[in-house]
Amino acid sequence: MRPVWALAGGVALALGVAGAVLPLLPTVPFLLLAAYCFARGSARMHGWLVTHHQFGPPIRDWQERGAVSRRVKWIASGSIAVAMCLAAAVGLPAKLLAAQAVVLCAVLLFLWTRPEA
């Protein structure tokens, strides 16, 4: 089972790294998933990820305090606004836009109620 967890961690890490450079792909949720998977599949990769100079701090903030930095909250909020504008611009039906708005508002509510890192 450990190889499956390690493979899932590798996929999540790859998506997280891609999210660091692609505008609408989230980074931190995939890094959190990678850390979770590596904790079960590869102690070496888990240790590397948690102590990484760039990827480690948000993972540690979440694991220790359930915290998200204010910068990340603003970036996520901006990305959500862009996603809603793009969905409206491509002419999605009103019911679909409404459903998307409800889900994304719930995400924002969850995000902004987390403590600051």
Does position 32 have pLDDT exceeding 80, yes or no?
A: yes
Place of tokens 């996520």: 76
Integer Cα distance of 42 and 52 in angstroms: 15
In this prediction, residue 75 carries a pLDDT of 85
Integer Cα distance of 52 and 50 in angstroms: 6
Integer Cα distance of 6 and 42 in angstroms: 6
Does position 14 have pLDDT exceeding 80, yes or no?
A: yes
In this prediction, residue 23 carries a pLDDT of 73
Residue 25 binned pLDDT confidence (cut-offs 50, 70, 90): confident
For 34-59, the pLDDT digits (tens) are: 999 999 999 999 999 999 998 899 89
